[in-house]
A and B are shown apart, each in its own frame.
Chain A
């Protein structure tokens, strides 16, 4: 269905002028802002291409591998270190012996509890 443009009456000129001014104002503002944004992005890219970076960016770059390796180190043995923290140095050197002692102690404790349960009147 063809759409006919409405007749804007005797004051059409004022209506068109208002819309035209608004369009031009918004277009000029948008053009200025977009142009400035593009200019700054281009300048920044040029500077970075020449090897000039922000100190914070450099810092982040230089510390990135360190932190990554630290994270990798810390990721798997975290529990181990947490559990070995309170154990004496001798047991750290001989984890197997410590583990055996711990299992022995656990089994003794469970035996005790089993015994307690057995001792309770039914």
Chain B
């Protein structure tokens, strides 16, 4: 694992993994969408709107997973001062922000027909909004500081402080009375969702996870190359000055 933290080796790994990951993502999305629209039955209470679950839940899971990746990268950045950890943290933020945004929008589109409102200031929804704002803060921090190492340090501290929000999101439905339904997939007594709906959900979650990895690898490669380009442009400027 540590040897992969070398940017050159990482780029080589990405070159090998990307085509396979792209293929797997496409296949999982095709199967997941087929199961969602043609196999999954309507819910006995929610009817066909349950189909929104197949995109809403994976988006919300990935929103939290991306932030967890950022927090782990922040540890790597602060403890080992590894540049690749900086790169991983920086590039996961826009992807996580997008998935959080999608979870919020699809959730409100699901909430309107089921709850009668697009938005309510309940604990789950509010903590997800806080997560979205944290992502925006991290992106802004990265953009505001020019020097990557300084920006990485500041962003790592913010990421670690903000990580407290992730368990709050997860347990908000247990700790407070919320309009949002309680945990129904990963819970102590087993899932409360019927397997006919659970199967498409897991396939879509797999597709979303592969998509996240794919986009994260691509974004990390672009960031590593951006830093190399910056270093080369500096060398060029120095040569021109000499």
Q: Given contacts A14-B110, A44-B228, A47-B229, are A22 and B55 in contact (CB under 8 A)? A: yes
> What is the minimal beta-carbon distance from A34 to any residue of chain B, in angstroms?
7
Interface of B is mostly: helix
Q: How large is the interface on B (under 10, 10 to 19, 20 to 34, 35 or more residues)?
A: 35 or more
Q: In the complex the two chains form, is B233's CB within 8 Å of A47's CB?
A: yes
CA A17 to CA B105, docked complex, whole Å: 10
Interface of A is mostly: helix
Q: In the complex the two chains form, is A11's CB within 8 Å of B113's CB?
A: yes
Q: In the complex the two chains form, is A41's CB within 8 Å of B48's CB?
A: no
Contact of B232 among A25, A34, A54 (CB under 8 A): A54
Contact of A18 among B47, B98, B105, B221 (CB under 8 A): B105
Q: In the complex the two chains form, is A18's CB within 8 Å of B225's CB?
A: no
The 5 closest A-B CB pairs, nearest first, are: A40-B225, A37-B222, A11-B113, A18-B106, A18-B109
Residues of A at under 8 Å CB distance from B? 3, 5-9, 11-12, 14-15, 17-19, 21-22, 25-26, 28-30, 32-34, 36-37, 39-41, 43-44, 47-48, 50, 52-55
19 further A-B contacts with Cβ under 8 Å, apart from A21-B106, A40-B226, are: A5-B37, A6-B37, A6-B48, A9-B47, A9-B48, A11-B113, A12-B48, A14-B49, A14-B110, A18-B110, A19-B51, A29-B98, A33-B215, A40-B225, A47-B232, A47-B233, A53-B232, A54-B231, A54-B232
